[in-house]
Amino acid sequence: MSQEIKIGLAGLGNVGAGVYKNLQRNGDLLAERTGARFVVRKIAVHDTTKDRGFCVPAGILTTDWNDLVNDPEIDVIVELIGGVAEASRLVRAALTAKKMVITGNKALLAEEGHELVALAEKEDVPLYFEAAVAGGIPIIKVVREALVGNHIQSIYGIINGTSNYILTRMADAELDYAVALKEAQDLGYAEADPALDVNGGDAAHKAIILAWLSYGLWVKPEQVFVDGVENVCRADIEYARSLGYAIKLLGVVRLDESNRVEVRVQPSLVPSDHILASVNGVFNAVAVRGDVVGETLYYGSGAGQDATSSAVISDLADAAANLDNEAGCQGFAPHGFYGEAMPIDETVSAYYVRLQVRDVHGVIAEITRVIADHAIGISSVDQPKAHGSSELVDLMLVTHPAAFGAMRAALGCIESLSCVGAPPVMMRVENLGA
């Protein structure tokens, strides 16, 4: 006989609908594998009359999520309403009512995760969130379970499918950014307002969660350096390719030599022979380096109804096992408990810089002098072709590793030069083997 797990589902949008439909479709399979029969007892929605394209028994719909929290028969509440304020009230109420909670809400966890985890521990009920990072890739379980015997040294992730699709199309089809974005919107890969995806904010939320899992530090959103893909152009992609790199939006989490945690998101030049460089389209991939296992890579669909609902259902299976064992809150001790985020200006890497300069005598000498004055070495300089107008030409250069603060100061001085006609574009050149 299967144990019956009663679920309160908050939200029946894209992911919520996927959870509901896939529980119906694979209910027998789940019962065979977990010994539990999952029953959706109540669903909280904004509008109970909306046509969702599939059948939901009218009797289980409600417009008040308190009906889920206050139902004594509901064992697990799945929060998929999105946003922060309302979702926070729901999750806190559910945990206080001693109900297990599953959420895919990365923004909520990035902003309030430290408080919610503490509340879950206080109430001795689990909080699951596999769906919050990288959709169908089980990266949360990897860090918490599969790599439990490792000190996590670094995590590099392509963790936003929209940005990765745009960069892929710019590279493969030689599209400009605006055209690639419009294509992504037409195909449903990008929202009508794509800001959170293309400006790096979505990836930053996920990086914060990975940093906590790895190092026990809840980095505040304002401590994470975030740069998006809006200023990447075809010239950058073409020049990066000529140097043996692909441009990817990377979320980076790593521990430095002085045990400070570095968390950042930005377009980066990735060596073309590294497997991350070949992750294309809307797919995600996360490379995790542990001191015992070395580098491991996890690849798959990072978003979408089925991929994300798969992660939610995985958490439901864990919740069922927890209920069966009456284990209470399943604690997790990250690698140490580091108390400091590394200031972005102290992070070190090599850099790619694209300048638009007036094609006059002495320009290169003037720019290289400014960079040298900031104690930064240059490994290559190239002036491939005209750009924008006959008066301006592109000037590309790659530096040796330097502190980010020194690089920003140098570019500030360069931008003020009369020979420079537009703000510089700068991207990191990542050494993924370090």
Handedness of CA 161, 216, 323, 60 (dihedral sign): negative
Give yes or no: 141 in active site: no
Q: Residue 431 corresponds to which tokens in the numbers above?
A: 């050494």
Q: Of the residues 206, 220, 248, 385, which is catalytic?
A: 206
Q: Active-site positions?
A: 206
